[in-house]
């Protein structure tokens, strides 16, 4: 069959196709997507669900002049394919290749970088107002889905947008049926009707006519809301000041094209509710959309995902500890901001359903919710990615640390994260945590130490954080027995001469290799706060060169804490550089930053010879 996809280099090419050709293009896109992601890994389920929606948006809107803002950004693979990056999809999430999320530097069609969720409405509103201020007819569209509407920032933006008259369209990509069930032809027809200019003009005209008769106008508005409310969940968004349209079938191209075509002619804030199916068109992903949400390379014929070695990951160590600790202490409650599987909590949720709380994509709420539980005697454990903790920094300071509440932060993805790139890297947590009073900050160097540090955190009556990396550790066996570590005490792992290497967390393994080569003293510092000041000062007095190593930005990090407590000693602080580090293979990324064993040896020798 003649391939339509091969003829599409830009959305302008897409707009030359007839409506009758678009279903074939959608089928080809879905086939290309499955084949491509099976070879690279990536987010499959959500992208299979947005094929028709992406085609319709680029067919109706004059992109890139019209702005599309995708949220969450991992649903943009089809968007990338249609905007000149089809051949580059083989490099998806690889070093020097395509990012897994929208990236302004990558394409003019990527109007806003959206690695985190719930930001699209705010950004698109800003673009809509910019168009208004400049007198442009340009349109702005926010496509928000994959749970992003649960984030408080989305509702803040809705509240603000509804009070303005900017030409903003918010599309809710409802792919989890969290608001309403998929609906059929009647609702598609009503959506086309309610998005039409005749309906909008009739509505505005009736308001003008009835304005002089306030009781009648109020009755008419209530009657309209009642009629629309019978067939659509419109009330909430209408109250925000949006004209609500939908729900419509997000896989019905005709309904999408008609509705979007009508909406583009309307003035003011519009809200379109689209229902899609994650994994659409690939039966295995339809059956288990979670498995194929963020998937590694897989065999597309049988769906078998390539497996890594069998060593437990830090995430799995945390999940096991959480269940074991919950059995010992009925005060423990587990909290996650919509990252149950990613944070290793499914078994805990199964065993302790009344003590498990998924609060949605609402990191700020997660921390203050934990603070409230702690106020009344519970021991909350908040499982959160380092990059997402950044969004709740104010709550950590004001609602937890100031009040000295015993909330445990289990911080996953500390350091670099490989293919997810800069938006998901945990590069800054040691810097922004150690400056907060009342905090204890721990960095495990192996799997068993992670378990013991989590237990140590549970014994404290003040806030604490255990920060561990993505993936597997060095392979140290986990001991079932849990013992609290002596607070603020490091341990010397190797005694040497001239050089002392102070390693934090994941950097102990390369530091030990470097220590053997250099005959250096190597210390597992374990605690960033409180720092083992006595040990640091003793090491400074006994060695010519003090080296700190961390998988965190050097600025303000653990090395800075060491430098603050010694004087008159030659120091070398090693860590992540002062730049955002793009996606790649984790070991290579560390090597590029000089944080491999070879890199440490090279840098330390260079310092010694100066």
Question: CA nearest 322: which of 253, 260, 410?
Answer: 410
* Interatomic CA distance for residues 451 and 483, integer angstroms: 9
* Interatomic CA distance for residues 4 and 530, integer angstroms: 62
Q: Which residues contact 454 (CB under 8 A, 6 or more apart)?
A: 318, 321, 325, 408, 410, 466
CA 357 to chain centroid: 19
- Can you count the helices (H) and strands (E) in the chain? 25, 17
494 flagged as catalytic: no
3-class DSSP state for residue 553? strand
Q: 10 Å Cβ neighbour count for 190?
A: 20
* Interatomic CA distance for residues 545 and 535, integer angstroms: 15
278 flagged as catalytic: yes
CA 608 to chain centroid: 42
Alpha helices in 306-464 (DSSP H): 314-328, 346-351, 363-375, 386-389, 393-395, 429-434, 447-459
SS3 content of the chain, % helix, strand, coil (to 5): 45, 15, 40
* Interatomic CA distance for residues 594 and 598, integer angstroms: 8
3-class DSSP state for residue 213? coil
Question: CA nearest 52: which of 293, 277, 294, 291?
Answer: 277
Q: 10 Å Cβ neighbour count for 555?
A: 15
CA 397 to chain centroid: 22
Q: 10 Å Cβ neighbour count for 481?
A: 7
Question: CA nearest 272: which of 131, 144, 124?
Answer: 144
225 flagged as catalytic: no
3-class DSSP state for residue 463? coil
The catalytically annotated residue of 85, 103, 138, 391 is: 391
* Interatomic CA distance for residues 444 and 468, integer angstroms: 6
What is the DSSP annotation of 115-148? Answer: SSSS-HHHHHHHHHHHHHHHT----EEEEEETTG
* Interatomic CA distance for residues 603 and 126, integer angstroms: 46
Q: Report which DSSP code applies to 169.
A: E
The catalytically annotated residue of 139, 278, 320, 470 is: 278
Rg value, the chain, Cα: 27
Measure Cα distances from 555 to 61, 335, 452, 550 in Å: 44, 30, 28, 11
The catalytically annotated residue of 28, 52, 238, 363 is: 363
Answer for the pair 574, 549: CB distance below 8 angstroms, yes or no.
Answer: yes
- Enumerate the active-site residues: 278, 363, 391
């Amino acid at each position: 069959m003649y391939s339509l996809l091969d003829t599409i280099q830009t959305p302008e090419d897409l707009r030359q196709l007839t409506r009758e050709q678009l279903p074939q293009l959608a089928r080809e896109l879905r086939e290309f997507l499955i084949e491509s992601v099976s070879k690279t890994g990536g987010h499959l389920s959500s992208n299979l669900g947005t094929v028709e929606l992406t085609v319709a948006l680029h067919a109706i809107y004059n992109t890139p002049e019209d702005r599309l803002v995708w949220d969450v950004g991992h649903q943009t693979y089809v968007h990338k394919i249609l905007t000149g990056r089809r051949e580059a999809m083989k490099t998806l999430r690889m070093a020097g290749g395509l990012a897994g999320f929208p990236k302004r530097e990558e394409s003019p069609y990527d109007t806003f970088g959206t690695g985190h969720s719930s930001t699209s409405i705010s950004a698109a509103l800003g673009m809509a107002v910019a168009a208004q201020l400049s007198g442009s007819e340009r349109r702005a569209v926010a496509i928000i889905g994959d749970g992003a509407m649960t984030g408080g920032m989305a509702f803040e933006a809705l509240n603000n947008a509804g009070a303005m008259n900017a030409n903003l369209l918010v599309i809710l990509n409802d792919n989890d049926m969290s608001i309403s069930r998929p609906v059929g032809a009647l609702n598609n027809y009503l959506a086309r009707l309610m998005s039409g200019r005749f309906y909008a003009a009739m509505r505005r005209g009736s308001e003008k006519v009835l304005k002089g008769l306030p009781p009648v106008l109020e009755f008419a508005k209530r009657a309209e809301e009642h009629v629309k409310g019978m067939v659509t969940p419109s009330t909430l968004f209408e109250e925000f000041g949006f004209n609500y349209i939908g729900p419509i079938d997000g896989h019905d191209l005709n309904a999408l094209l008609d509705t979007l075509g009508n909406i583009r002619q309307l003035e003011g804030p519009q809200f379109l509710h689209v229902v899609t199916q994650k994994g659409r068109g690939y039966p295995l992903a339809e059956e288990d959309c979670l498995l194929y949400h963020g998937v590694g390379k897989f065999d597309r014929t049988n769906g078998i995902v390539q497996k890594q070695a069998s060593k437990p990951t830090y995430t799995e160590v945390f999940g096991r500890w959480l269940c074991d600790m919950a059995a010992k202490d009925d005060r423990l409650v587990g909290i996650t901001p919509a990252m149950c599987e990613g944070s290793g909590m499914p078994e805990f949720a199964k065993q302790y359903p009344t003590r498990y709380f998924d609060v949605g994509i609402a990191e700020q709420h997660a921390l203050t919710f934990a603070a409230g539980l702690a106020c009344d005697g519970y021991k909350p454990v908040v499982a959160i990615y380092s990059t997402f903790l950044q969004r709740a920094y104010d709550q950590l300071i004001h609602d937890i640390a100031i009040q000295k509440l015993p909330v445990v932060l289990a911080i996953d993805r500390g350091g670099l994260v490989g293919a997810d790139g800069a938006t998901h890297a945990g590069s800054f947590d040691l810097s922004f945590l150690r400056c907060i009073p009342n905090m204890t900050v721990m960095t495990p160097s192996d799997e068993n130490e992670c378990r013991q540090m989590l237990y140590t955190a549970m014994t404290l009556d003040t806030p604490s954080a255990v920060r561990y990396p993505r993936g597997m550790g060095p392979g140290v066996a986990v001991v079932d027995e849990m013992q609290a570590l002596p607070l603020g005490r490091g341990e010397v792992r190797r005694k040497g001469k001239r050089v002392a290497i102070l390693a934090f967390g994941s950097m102990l393994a390369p530091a030990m290799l470097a220590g053997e080569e250099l005959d250096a003293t190597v210390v597992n510092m374990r605690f960033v706060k409180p720092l083992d000041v006595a040990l640091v000062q003793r090491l400074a007095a006994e060695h010519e060169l003090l080296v700190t190593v961390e998988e965190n930005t050097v600025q303000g990090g653990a090395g800075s804490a060491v430098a603050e407590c010694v004087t008159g000693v030659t120091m070398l602080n090693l860590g992540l550089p002062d730049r955002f580090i793009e996606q790649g293979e984790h070991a290579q990324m560390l090597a590029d930053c000089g944080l491999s064993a070879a890199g440490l040896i090279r840098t330390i020798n260079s310092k010694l010879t100066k």
